[in-house]
């Protein structure tokens, strides 16, 4: 047995039905119209790929009226590039509009489609006729989320049996044409834990998790609890006996596991948010992700890949593959999750378990799994590629997969630390002291196991001691100290924001003030870099007072131009990644359309000229550097933020004087920082425009926030932009757009989240007048 599993890939391709609406992932991610993606996928070095040729899209009126044009092209390209497709026919769907999972005609229709497919493509060897039949049956027949929206045991059981029987029938007709055809049967696998009172419910769910595989392998016998479980809903002995008489064991069992696939049940509802409350006929209880539950003592209710894959092997003794590896969250956590899964597969192979492959899932990311794909909200999670630009942009995951495919190891300093699911700061349930837990509810509400956001740790001691904790982790036999991320500008809004979110994301950092490292002092910069040996440096220091720059141009240029140039030369010489910030003020504001990265710079003030010159020098001295142009920041983490100060004045009944002749793209600080960190991990370089998509004046932004917070907007007084900065003769437009990718959520979305924080008490009144806009 090879010491390493193969690396496969997959495309999130759900076409599920909610009411009469079909939610189509491939339309959202653009792959439906972008055949060129396949060449990019092939460049990763993968040899097998889960690929959708879906029944609903190819033959909605039946095989006789099928349109194979798309399938002909795509399967031909896969074959040309040496990729074996694992053909999928139904992926969380219910078939064409005339059928559903609960109808017997689903079986007949899918069998006919499979037969037509195999006749047309007899060379295709690997098949997944139905993805995750148990999961889909729960969502469609028990929870009422997807069509046919059943909420009862019989609908659930019918949905499950029809999908499993359809799988058997599909493989039968396919093998009549291609006897070598192989079934790769996928299923989401987790585990359920509980308090002693609910042990009976946990036991039932732990038996139920094997149902689809037991049916297909012909191992569900009358003496087992699940036989009676299905009969209790109205399923007959004859229906179950059919599977014993027609076993179709998978050639490969595909296990899909996410950090939130494992559940914990607790009847003490006061410790959990309302969205988790549910129950059965006997008890009410909370149902939450086990990985987030704090337990007394040494007991930990989280099995993970190693245990679950081993359980699968020991139960069936059939080859196993991990057929989905993906989480939503920061890039470093996505890398850690893939590394963790791959290392568990390698470990199991060394122990004699037949783990044949690990699949990088969601090559193009996913849409709307945050609401379990029940609404078309456009919520995007990037994956191996990010599709928010003109073409899919490879992320750090692409490099990792490429190296794993070649049998190489992938290295990044942040992979030396544990993932969030392994850290002690991951716990948030039950809420301390009971209560509603409003501060945590939305931060930890994840769907389908794909939500794996950073931990929002607001304990000051955690931030203060974060580097000490990293050192302790290394000193406890876990290897050398992890190289930190260095952040300059300790006294500024931007520097503090990076420190805060690095701590929450588990990124070791050092936040430096001017006394610790003056960026305009060559010797001081080199001394710090040699001492700390960072993997990256973020220059959040800068001269931010645009009006004062007109009377003190030398200081502005020294801080905004000379300092970044010194950092670029020092970091370039040492191979250290660099992020430097520029501004929308490198443009004069005369353009009627939004500015993009390739537009020539036309600064009209000292501040803008200092930033434009810094861009040129930084990229000249360090061509691999990342330069981010952003609009003016807004956020609720500091009292000096212009929007926060203006709202504080409105709260006290004071009138507020604010600019109304400058149209720009305000940038929500948390979104900016998270995106910058992801781009740093991805190894992005060159100039990027990062701003909250939208265009508005400061007066308009303040009015919008005030309306959301229920404050008096009549107190807002509109003013002209100051005449001391070179912009006095015309209405400015410094709106930023991007030709590389719109990576930040919209301004409307950002403002709503800002105001939610304000309503939760995050907004603090400063009592200071809003006299100046601070720029990056």
φ, ψ of residue 243 to 5 degrees: the values are -70, -30
Cα(563)–Cα(489) distance, rounded to whole angstroms? 12
Cα(462)–Cα(466) distance, rounded to whole angstroms? 6
According to DSSP, the residues that pair with 581 across neighbouring strands are 628
Q: What does the DSSP 8-state code read for residue 543?
A: -
Query: Is 302 one of the annotated active-site residues of the chain?
Result: no
Closest CA to 452 of 357, 319, 362: 362
Q: 3-state class of 286 per DSSP?
A: strand
Max CA distance (Å), the chain = 89
Structure tokens at 435: 């209560």
First-residue to last-residue Cα distance in the chain: 55
Query: Who contacts 765 (Cβ-Cβ below 8 Å, separation ≥6)?
Result: 639, 648, 651, 652
Closest CA to 128 of 32, 255, 260, 311: 255
Q: State the Cα angle at 113 between 107 and 117, rounded to 5°.
A: 140
φ, ψ of residue 285 to 5 degrees: the values are -160, 160
Cα(324)–Cα(257) distance, rounded to whole angstroms? 7
Closest CA to 732 of 652, 656, 632: 632
Q: What does the DSSP 8-state code read for residue 246?
A: S
Is residue 567 within 8 Å of residue 519, measured between CB atoms? yes
Closest CA to 146 of 56, 71, 228, 225: 56
Q: What does the DSSP 8-state code read for residue 696?
A: B
Is residue 708 within 8 Å of residue 750, measured between CB atoms? no
563-574 vs 522-532: helix axis angle to the nearest 10?
A: 40
Give the β-pairing of 656-659 and 716-719: parallel
Cα(772)–Cα(522) distance, rounded to whole angstroms? 32
In the set 453, 595, 607, 727, the catalytic residue is 607
Cα(687)–Cα(614) distance, rounded to whole angstroms? 12
According to DSSP, the residues that pair with 182 across neighbouring strands are 126
Q: What does the DSSP 8-state code read for residue 717?
A: E
642-651 vs 698-709: helix axis angle to the nearest 10?
A: 50
User: Count H helices, E strands: the chain?
Assistant: 27, 30
Catalytic machinery residues: 607
């Amino acid at each position: 047995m090879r010491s390493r599993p193969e690396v496969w890939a997959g495309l999130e391709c759900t076409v599920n039905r909610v009411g009469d609406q079909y939610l189509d992932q491939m339309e959202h991610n653009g792959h439906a119209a972008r055949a060129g993606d396949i060449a990019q996928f092939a460049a990763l070095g993968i040899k097998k790929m889960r690929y959708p040729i879906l029944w609903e899209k190819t033959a909605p009126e039946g095989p006789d009226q099928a349109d194979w044009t798309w399938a002909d092209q795509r399967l031909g390209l896969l074959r040309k590039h040496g990729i074996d497709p694992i053909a999928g026919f139904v992926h969380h769907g219910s078939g064409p509009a005339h059928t559903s999972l609960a109808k017997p005609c689903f079986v007949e229709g899918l069998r006919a489609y499979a037969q037509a497919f195999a006749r047309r493509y007899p060379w295709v060897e690997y098949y997944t006729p139905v993805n995750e039949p148990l999961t889909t049956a729960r969502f469609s027949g028990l929870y009422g989320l997807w069509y046919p929206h059943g909420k009862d045991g019989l609908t659930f059981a019918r949905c499950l049996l029809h999908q499993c029987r359809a799988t058997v029938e599909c493989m039968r007709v396919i093998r009549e044409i291609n006897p070598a055809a192989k079934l790769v049967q996928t299923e989401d696998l987790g585990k359920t834990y509980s308090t002693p009172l609910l042990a009976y419910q946990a036991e039932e769910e732990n038996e139920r998790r094997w149902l689809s595989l037991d049916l297909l392998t012909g191992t569900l016998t009358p003496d087992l609890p699940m036989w009676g479980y299905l009969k209790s809903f109205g399923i007959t002995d004859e229906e179950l006996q059919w599977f014993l008489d027609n076993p179709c064991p998978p050639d490969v069992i595909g296990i899909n596991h996410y950090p939130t696939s494992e559940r914990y049940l607790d009847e003490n509802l006061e410790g959990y948010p309302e969205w988790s409350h549910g129950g059965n006929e006997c008890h009410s209880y909370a149902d939450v992700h086990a990985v987030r539950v704090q337990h007394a003592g040494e007991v930990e209710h989280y099995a993970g890949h190693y245990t679950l894959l081993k359980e699968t092997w020991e139960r069936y003794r059939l080859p196993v593959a991990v057929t989905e590896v993906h989480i939503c969250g920061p890039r470093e956590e996505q890398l850690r999750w893939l590394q963790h899964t791959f290392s568990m597969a390698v470990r199991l192979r060394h122990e004699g378990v037949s783990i044949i492959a690990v699949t990088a899932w969601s090559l193009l990311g996913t849409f709307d799994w945050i609401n379990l794909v029940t609404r078309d909200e456009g919520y995007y999670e990037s994956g191996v590629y990010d599709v928010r630009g003109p073409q899919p942009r490879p992320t750090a995951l692409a490099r990792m997969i490429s190296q794993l495919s070649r049998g190489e190891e992938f290295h990044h300093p942040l992979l030396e630390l544990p993932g969030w699911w392994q850290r002690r700061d991951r716990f948030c349930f039950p809420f301390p002291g009971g209560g509603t837990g409003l501060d945590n509810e939305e931060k930890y509400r994840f769907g389908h196991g794909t939500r794996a956001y950073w931990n929002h740790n607001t304990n000051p001691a955690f931030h203060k001691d974060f580097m000490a904790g990293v050192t302790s982790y290394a000193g406890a036999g876990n290897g050398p100290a992890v190289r930190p991320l260095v952040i300059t500008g300790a006294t500024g809004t931007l520097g503090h924001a990076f420190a805060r979110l690095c701590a929450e994301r588990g990124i070791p950092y050092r936040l430096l003030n001017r006394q610790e490292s003056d960026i305009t002092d060559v010797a001081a910069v080199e001394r710090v870099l040699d001492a700390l040996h960072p993997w990256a440096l973020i220059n959040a220091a800068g001269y931010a007072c645009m009006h004062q720059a007109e009377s003190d141009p030398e200081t502005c240029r020294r801080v905004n131009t000379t300092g970044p140039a010194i950092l670029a030369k020092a970091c370039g010489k040492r191979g250290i990644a660099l992020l430097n910030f520029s501004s929308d003020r490198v443009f004069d504001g005369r353009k009627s359309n939004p500015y993009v990265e390739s537009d020539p710079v036309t600064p009209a003030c000292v501040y803008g000229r200092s930033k434009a010159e810094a861009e040129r020098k930084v990229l000249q001295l360090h061509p691999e550097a990342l330069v981010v142009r952003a609009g003016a920041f807004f956020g609720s983490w500091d009292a000096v933020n212009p929007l926060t100060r203006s709202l504080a004045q409105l709260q006290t009944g004071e009138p507020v004087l604010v600019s109304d002749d400058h149209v720009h793209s305000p940038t929500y600080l948390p979104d900016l920082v998270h995106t910058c960190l992801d781009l740093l991990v991805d190894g992005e370089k060159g100039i990027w425009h990062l701003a909250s998509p939208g265009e508005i004046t400061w007066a308009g932004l303040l009015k919008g926030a005030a309306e959301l917070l229920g404050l008096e907007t009549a107190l807002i007084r509109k003013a002209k932009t100051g005449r001391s900065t070179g912009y006095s003769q015309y209405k400015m437009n410094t709106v930023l757009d991007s030709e590389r990718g719109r990576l930040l959520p919209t301004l409307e979305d950002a403002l709503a989240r800002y105001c939610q924080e304000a309503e939760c008490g995050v907004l603090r009144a400063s009592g200071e007048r809003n006299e100046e806009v601070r720029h990056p």
